[in-house]
Amino acid sequence: MKREDFPRHRKEDEELYLKKRWWLGMTLGDVLDRTADVFSNKVAVADDNGQVTWSELKAKVDRLAVSLMDLGIGKGDCVLLQLPNWHEYVCAYFAMQRIGAVPVLLISGYRQLEVGHLGLATEAKAWIVPDVYRKMDYVSFMDEVKAKNPQMKHVISVRATKGGAGFTTSLEKLMEGGLTDADRERLAMAKPEATDIAHIVPSGGTTGLPKGIPRTHNDYICDVEFLHKGWEMSTSDVALLVVPVGHNLALLNVVGTAVVGYKLVLTDSTRPGDLCKLIEQHKVSYMPLVPTLVRRILESPDLTNYDLTSLRKISAGGEPSTPDLIRDVYKKLNNCTYVNEFGMSEGILTRTSMTDDIDTICSTVGKPCCPYAVIKIIDDKGKELPRGTDGELAVWGPTVFAGYLKNPEENKKSYTADGLFRTGDQARINAAGYLTITGRIKDIIIRGGENITPSQVEDILCSHPGIADAAVIGMPDKVLGEQVCAYVRPAAGVKLDPEEIKAFMDSQGASKLLVPERFEFVDAIPMTQAGKHDKKALKKDIKEKLGIS
C-alpha cells in the first residue's frame, strides 16, 4: 500500500510533535540497532526453544529482511503476521521494520473470516503462520484465504510439523546464511521514514469484523517510551510476556525490550504453575497481564511452591481490576507493586504510578503515561464536562493514531471538531487528575430508561468472598427493554445462592437497579482472544436460554 492510502496526522499536530521533540524521528529499526550495538552479548529474548542475544537477534532480523526483499516485499507492503509467543515473531516484526514493510498483527484464534478480511483490507502480499498451533489447523483454511486474496503471493511457514504443505517457503529458510556488502547496502537504502506506518493492529471489538489501526514509527515509539518510563523499567529488568503477541498489550513490551534493553521471556502457557516456574527460573521482575490471569495465579496452589521474590511489578489492563484482586496481590506477593492501567491500540495509555497509594490504585487507572497527552471528558455533543462528571473519554497527543484504515465514515465519527479521538469509553476525572473508567458507552444496559454500567455491578459482585469472577450483560425484556443478567463463577468449593448474593449487594449499599434479575452460575466465563469477558457469547447464550432468536 502507498503512504497516501493511510490516514495521516493533522499537519499542525505533526509539526508540534516534532518541534517539541515528543516524536524522536527514529524508526523501530533504529531502536533495535542502538540496543543491539550497546548490549550485543546480553540475552534479548528467551522462549521454549532457547534464547538469543541482541547480536544474534539483529543478525536474524537483517538476514530475514533481505530475504523478504528478495520475495518482492518492500516499503508499504503489508504482511499478515500470525504467530504465538515465539521468538520468531520478534524476528519477523523487526525484519519488516528494517525495510518499511507493514506487519498486520493477527491473534492465533483468527480463522478464514478475519484473516481473509484483513488480508484483503490491507492488500497483504504475504502471510506468516504455523501449519498447526494447538487445536488450530491453519492449512485447513489456507486455500480459502488465498482464494479471497489473489494479491497474496507468499505463505511462509514457521515451525512446520507436517512438511510445509501449502506454503511457499519457511521462515527458517529465509533466516539462513549471512549478509554480503551488497545486502547491507540494500538494507540501508530500504530504510523507512519515521512518519511511515510501522504496523497495523486489528481493533479488539467483540462485534463485527475488526478495523485496521495503523501506527507510525513516531507515534508508537513515543507510546512505548513513556509507558516504560512510567513503569520504571531498566536494562536489569526481566519481563515475562504471557499475553498473546498478536495484541497491542503484548507488542508494547516486544517493542519495549528494544527501547529499554531488558530481557524478554515469551511463553504461550497460561498455566499458573508454568508461569511461577518461569518467574523463578529467569528471575522475572515484571509481568504485564490481564486481571483474569492475575486472579488465576493468586488462586493457584503453585503460588507457594516457587521463589517469586524477584517479581516487583505487575501491570494489568484490558478489563477492570477489582479492589479485592489488587489487595490480594499485596497480600500474597511480597514487595510487588500493582500497576492499574487502561490502554487502547489507538494510542492512549494511562497507568497508576509506582508510588501511588493502594486506594488510588484500586479506584483509578492513573494518569496518561505521556505527560503531553490531553484527556477530556465530553458529552454527546463534544462539550467538555466538569471534573467528577461521567462522560465519554476523548484524547489527543503524540501517542494517538491518525485514524482507521480505509474507514472514512468511522474516522468522521471518531474525532471531535478540535481533533480529539473519541474512545467510546465512559469515564470521569477526579480533582487530582486521575482517571476512572466507569463503563463502555456501547455496553451500557438501559433498563426502563435508566442507564446501568456493567463494570459497576461486576465490581460489587467480585467483592463477594464466594465469587471468583463475574460478567454482567443486558438481557432482553419486553417490558423494560433490558434487565441485568450476571454470569458468575463461584470460588472453589463454594455453592452460591442468588438470594444471598442479592442480600450481600444490599449490604454493600447497591441500589436495587444494580441487582441482577438473573444469575447464571458457570464453571468458566468465556473469554475473547484479548483476554476479556466475551460478552457477545454471553448475550447469545442468554438469548438461547430465553428462547429468543
Which one of 441, 476, 505 terminates a domain? Answer: 441
Which one of 388, 418, 441 terminates a domain? Answer: 441
Residues 131 and 176 in one domain: yes
Residue 204 has a pLDDT of: 55
**Is residue 463 one of the residues assigned to a domain?**
yes
Residues 292 and 306 in one domain: yes
Highest mean pLDDT among 109-113, 320-324, 366-370: 366-370
Res. 207 pLDDT band, cuts 50 70 90: very low
**Is residue 256 one of the residues assigned to a domain?**
no
Looking at residue 464, which CATH number applies to its domain?
A: 3.30.300.30
Quick one: cell of 16?
508540534
Residues 205 and 340 in one domain: no
Residue 380 has a pLDDT of: 86
CA dihedral over 241, 246, 252, 256, signed as positive or negative:
positive
Res. 549 pLDDT band, cuts 50 70 90: confident
C-alpha span between 80 and 142 (Å, rounded): 13
Residues 334 and 451 in one domain: no
pLDDT at 213 over 70: yes
Residues 94 and 147 in one domain: yes
Residues 481 and 410 in one domain: no
C-alpha span between 295 and 270 (Å, rounded): 12
pLDDT at 119 over 90: yes
Amino acid present at 256: G
**What would the pLDDT profile of 308-319 be if each residue is shown by its tens digit?**
999 999 999 877
pLDDT at 107 over 90: no
**Is residue 425 one of the residues assigned to a domain?**
yes
Looking at residue 183, which CATH number applies to its domain?
A: 3.40.50.980
User: What is the DSSP code (8-state) at residue 240?
Assistant: E
Residues 411 and 428 in one domain: yes
Highest mean pLDDT among 204-218, 274-288, 410-424, 443-457: 274-288
CA dihedral over 198, 191, 88, 287, signed as positive or negative:
negative
Mean pLDDT across the chain = 93
**What would the pLDDT profile of 420-455 be if each residue is shown by its tens digit?**
999 999 999 999 999 999 877 777 888 876 778 888
50 is in which domain, residue-wise? 3-10+22-219
Supply the angle between the helices 291-299 and 323-332 in degrees, to the nearest 10: 40
Which one of 441, 469, 490 terminates a domain? Answer: 441
Q: What is the mean pLDDT of residues 290-300?
A: 90
**Is residue 207 one of the residues assigned to a domain?**
yes
**Is residue 367 one of the residues assigned to a domain?**
yes
pLDDT at 194 over 80: yes
Burial class of 465 by CB neighbour count within 10 A (0 to 12, 13 to 18, 19+): exposed
**What would the pLDDT profile of 372-417 be if each residue is shown by its tens digit?**
999 999 998 899 999 999 999 999 999 999 999 998 988 999 999 9
pTM of the model: 0.86
**Is residue 522 one of the residues assigned to a domain?**
yes
Task: Quote the number of domains for the chain.
Answer: 3
Residues 352 and 493 in one domain: no
- Residue for grid cell 516485499: 73
Residue 209 has a pLDDT of: 66
Residues 472 and 328 in one domain: no
Residues 426 and 469 in one domain: no
C-alpha span between 541 and 537 (Å, rounded): 6
pLDDT at 205 over 70: no
Residues 61 and 192 in one domain: yes
**What would the pLDDT profile of 79-105 be if each residue is shown by its tens digit?**
999 999 999 999 999 999 999 999 999
The pairs formed by 412-415 with CB atoms below 8 angstroms and a separation of 24 or more are none
C-alpha span between 115 and 145 (Å, rounded): 7
Residues 297 and 425 in one domain: yes
**Is residue 247 one of the residues assigned to a domain?**
no
**Is residue 105 one of the residues assigned to a domain?**
yes
- Residue for grid cell 484482586: 325
C-alpha span between 58 and 42 (Å, rounded): 12
C-alpha span between 150 and 152 (Å, rounded): 5
C-alpha span between 151 and 124 (Å, rounded): 7
Looking at residue 278, which CATH number applies to its domain?
A: 3.40.50.12780
